[in-house]
Structure 1
């Protein structure tokens, strides 16, 4: 049985009715992501999918020769959405290279800023951008029968969110007019204010440095943060209930919808929020402090935790070229032959990568994207795994749940779930939410996890602000550790950008950057077919999925395809930067597509 047949079912197949359809650029995101498909309308499935990017990544080229202390400020500009995640991760890598540890207060301030960013970004993406694919206006055009059923279906969690029917929720999702859409914009403003209290400026921090922070740890800074946090908890609780109701309804209304966006469970999480009592940034102890993170790093293969050791995760990273527009570098001299523990480092590891762009015409039978193909080499199977992040939250929750290591004040992992406790808020009582490991890694479960992780981030923010206030009362307000840049060193930072895994690999020679490679979630999720022919996660999730939209080829909107791609929270700036040769004007005519304002 082929992959397509297994996704579409085993019923009698009709003669193919193939239509080439493209969405380029995908809307509601930053950057030129193109999805090119062959759709078999007779059998209602996507027969083929290619994910492309028409932009060139350049940061790894011009970082060479820079003062390493500038790396956080420079790499922040990779993205206008998750720049602070890059700064944080760069500082982690530098702290390893410099052999320093920030004071506890500095770590808590960094954690508070990152928690606010997760709440801000996931809220604005989920409620203002992704939910437009499930709103009344969209469903009316693509699946009117589903909307009719939604009008007659009571909302199971109405006592929490106040919506009587599923259709009422869909109306609340309508862009610019819906109540949830408008409330999410207000929440995004408040959570951005929380972020700025800690990191100074959104989204390129002005107060984060290797060695600590420049934020003054005054009591009012933390009480102002806490006041805003408590003020958004009603919305956080309602969002989880709204999400559960809508996504559960889609499973019921469209039998087989679990196949939309489903791919093999291959999830990667690099961990988030350091525990200052354990983390010392030494590579030799990276396994210990990695497991102490408040989001547990891990690689999940077929639903089971393969490893949560950051040393194993680091050494398994491979950058494959495959279908991307670059020359190979494996014949060059390596920058790093062994890690600080003596383990050999592969030539395709980020420490040893050299970026040599090779512009050429796009060819779906050959090279067709500026995004490279990061893979994780699994020694157990001998395979180069095309890990995805599922947009970030599903991988974080899955890894944390299975590891069973988090036992924080308001968050606990049980081995099969994550329990999140939120205190009483203005209109809603104290609640304990539980995200349970799902049966599938698919479009709907990626979206569901996002709302639960907003609650997770809010719960962790409660703990961090309480701990910061305790340090203030104890007079432990130091926020910086001094250091000197060594002549030679290597470092690696592991963090979670909003939409998934983020690593920065640094090599210092003569006190300057000799090599630097940031790997955010975009190349992991949006990679093209690699040198083994393995499709990237966007391609794999779309290719073979069934089509439930009621429109035919002449009015086809591709809503199921868009839901799948957008379930990963795609964002191209982290993968690439514009390259148009000698200044040619780039134009593209594409299929009809829905979109609100761009993500950014």
Structure 2
């Protein structure tokens, strides 16, 4: 089966084995749908690859497109205009801020927020609480009572609608009713907020959720006058206004809510660490051409074994550094399943040997996933907001250090608390604040170039395939909201000879490798104690802290291998 969204959106299955006390002794992460886009791309014009790779995911469309065009540009030596770089940065940043806010409220908050409990809240007390957290204007008792009445209608009608999937009343929920009501209200506000945020992609890319892109620059013309098919002064003013609204929501809603909720769950600052190794490919280049990889706002790097005193470098083209293994994946390599391959030499040879889908138990001692196992110098690596924040912090970035230290200080937690389920959630929020603030500078830089008379967004000087070398290869690297993302392309006779994408959910959700090393999901779950195996909210909390862009199916089995519960969750 071919599905264009697996690995970053599709189906994820977690099988957790527990001992007699309910402690998870082994967890196995399985991607249950095959993607196959790499196979589809063979023989195609490399300039068209972005439109196919964009369909890897229905959420991360911007980042896959840009990784693809960067790979082709790097292979062919294209240099894009500076305006195009600013536009790409703004589109990537908008994706980050939008995605992180949506994840917190709509994909993860309900693991911590008891929706039904909000019916017991005192709206006046909730309004008072909001006042202590920030100056957000929607803070009257009447406003919160209105939300409460909407929720009451859902409950009394017997249908919770968008709040259906949850273990309401589970003893693991710790928030007071007033905090629950606050979070539910902001959940609904975030739904309305995000409708305007995505318009930034439509302005620069023509549409959303699959904006247009182009090898050689940005897919939009800039006009100093009103023009129906170009980015106009009015469009640009809207972008500036929207950046202001994004920053206000992050500063006055998202960040305060994270700290308020985290204060009740500080025990999760010591659970769900994972592998202890972190990887970032870097993002937001200020320069173009040779400067593209040396002027990054978020630096690339590796942290091993929690050691924040040293950030190691990454070489994307060294065949000994980044490799993918398939020892426990439903693929074959021509040199054997125990071999690791660098993506330039990567293979996509499908060989399904698993159970009849969807619910037979996996043979986790054999192959059990459509996801490969990427490794850096043989080691599993966690990618995502936590990796980026840790590398910024370890690199001495002043803004990051100030924000992290201040936030952890308010929670009375040490920096080591970041190595946890709660740490991932906090890092995602703090990164959103950092990137939203950076957007103002990106916007100002674009406006300044336009004001100077530079309207160029596309370089067509090299857009003649007859000038291409007979053979070329390149890698497009970047950071997606969920972590390190890279596309490797090999071009022969003006056509794609090989294409491999190693995406964030491959790093985090991959199965055990040849040496039996667990992937980050699997390692993070080991040792969790389930209060109620029939309602495994602990599993959801840790897996969702990685922000898996997948529909999850979670199975829990007892020491004898008997299935206890099957849970379908968002």
Hey, what does 1:245 align to over in structure 2? 260
Which of 296, 299, 302 does residue 296 from structure 1 map onto?
299
Deviation at 1:74, TM superposition (A): 1.2
Contact between 2:385 and 2:427, CA under 8 Å: does it hold in 1?
yes
Q: 1:384-533 residue pairs with structure 2 within 5 A?
A: 384-389=378-383, 392-404=384-396, 412-413=398-399, 416=401, 437-482=415-460, 483=462, 484-485=464-465, 486=468, 487-533=470-516
Q: What do residues 417-461 of structure 1 show as CA deviations (whole Å, max 9, x unaligned)?
A: 55899xxxxxxxxxxxxx995434211111111122221221111
Hey, what does 1:188 align to over in structure 2? 194
Change (3 A) 1:544 1:104: same
Hey, what does 1:363 align to over in structure 2? 363
Q: Secondary structure of 1:591's partner? A: strand
User: Which residues of structure 1 form unaligned runs of 5+?
Assistant: 1-28, 145-149, 282-287, 333-345, 378-383, 407-411, 422-434, 576-588
Hey, what does 2:539 align to over in structure 1? 561
Alpha-carbon RMSD across the aligned residues, in angstroms, is: 3.2
How far, CA to CA, are the matches of 1:511 and 1:312 in structure 2?
21
Q: Secondary structure of 1:56's partner? A: coil
Q: What do residues 463-518 of structure 1 show as CA deviations (whole Å, max 9, x unaligned)?
A: 11111110111001111112234221110011111211100001111111111101
How far, CA to CA, are the matches of 2:13 and 2:311 in structure 1?
32
How far, CA to CA, are the matches of 1:310 and 1:470 in structure 2?
34
How far, CA to CA, are the matches of 1:264 and 1:68 in structure 2?
36
Contact between 1:157 and 1:242, CA under 8 Å: does it hold in 2?
no
Contact between 1:40 and 1:46, CA under 8 Å: does it hold in 2?
yes
Which of 85, 91, 107 does residue 69 from structure 2 map onto?
91
Hey, what does 1:329 align to over in structure 2? 334
Contact between 1:106 and 1:480, CA under 8 Å: does it hold in 2?
yes
Q: 1:209-224 residue pairs with structure 2 within 5 A?
A: 209-217=214-222, 218-224=232-238
Contact between 1:155 and 1:166, CA under 8 Å: does it hold in 2?
no
Matched, 1:258 2:232: no
Matched, 1:31 2:10: yes
How far, CA to CA, are the matches of 1:439 and 1:231 in structure 2?
31
Contact between 2:275 and 2:520, CA under 8 Å: does it hold in 1?
no
How far, CA to CA, are the matches of 1:387 and 1:97 in structure 2?
27
Change (3 A) 1:240 1:495: same
Contact between 1:499 and 1:521, CA under 8 Å: does it hold in 2?
yes
Hey, what does 2:341 align to over in structure 1? 348
Deviation at 1:564, TM superposition (A): 0.3
How far, CA to CA, are the matches of 1:289 and 1:315 in structure 2?
24
Change (3 A) 1:204 1:155: closer
Change (3 A) 1:590 1:546: closer
Hey, what does 2:410 align to over in structure 1? none
Contact between 1:557 and 1:594, CA under 8 Å: does it hold in 2?
no
User: Which residues of structure 2 form unaligned runs of 5+?
Assistant: 1-7, 142-174, 223-231, 355-361, 407-412, 553-562
Q: 1:93-172 residue pairs with structure 2 within 5 A?
A: 93-137=71-115, 158-160=133-135, 167-172=177-182
Deviation at 1:47, TM superposition (A): 1.6
Deviation at 1:314, TM superposition (A): 7.7
How far, CA to CA, are the matches of 1:436 and 1:481 in structure 2?
49
Matched, 1:591 2:565: yes
Change (3 A) 1:513 1:417: farther
Q: Secondary structure of 2:273's partner? A: coil
Q: Secondary structure of 1:97's partner? A: helix
Deviation at 1:401, TM superposition (A): 2.1
Q: Secondary structure of 1:290's partner? A: coil
Hey, what does 1:584 align to over in structure 2? none
How far, CA to CA, are the matches of 1:590 and 1:117 in structure 2?
38
Contact between 2:274 and 2:521, CA under 8 Å: does it hold in 1?
no
Q: What do residues 26-57 of structure 1 show as CA deviations (whole Å, max 9, x unaligned)?
A: xxx94221111122352x42122111122112
Q: TM-score, normalised by structure 1?
A: 0.74
Change (3 A) 1:163 1:260: farther
How far, CA to CA, are the matches of 1:204 and 1:225 in structure 2?
18
Change (3 A) 1:455 1:245: same
Q: 1:48-67 residue pairs with structure 2 within 5 A?
A: 48-67=26-45
Matched, 1:280 2:273: no
Which of 158, 170, 185 does residue 179 from structure 1 map onto?
185
How far, CA to CA, are the matches of 1:264 and 1:37 in structure 2?
17
Contact between 2:325 and 2:340, CA under 8 Å: does it hold in 1?
no
How far, CA to CA, are the matches of 2:20 and 2:240 in structure 1?
53
Deviation at 1:313, TM superposition (A): 7.7
Q: TM-score, normalised by structure 2?
A: 0.78
Contact between 1:135 and 1:172, CA under 8 Å: does it hold in 2?
no
Q: What do residues 344-384 of structure 1 show as CA deviations (whole Å, max 9, x unaligned)?
A: xx97100001111111124112111111100100xxxxxx1
Q: Secondary structure of 2:27's partner? A: strand
Hey, what does 1:269 align to over in structure 2? 280
Change (3 A) 1:295 1:369: same
Hey, what does 2:519 align to over in structure 1? 536
Contact between 1:504 and 1:519, CA under 8 Å: does it hold in 2?
yes
Contact between 1:50 and 1:539, CA under 8 Å: does it hold in 2?
yes
Matched, 1:47 2:30: no
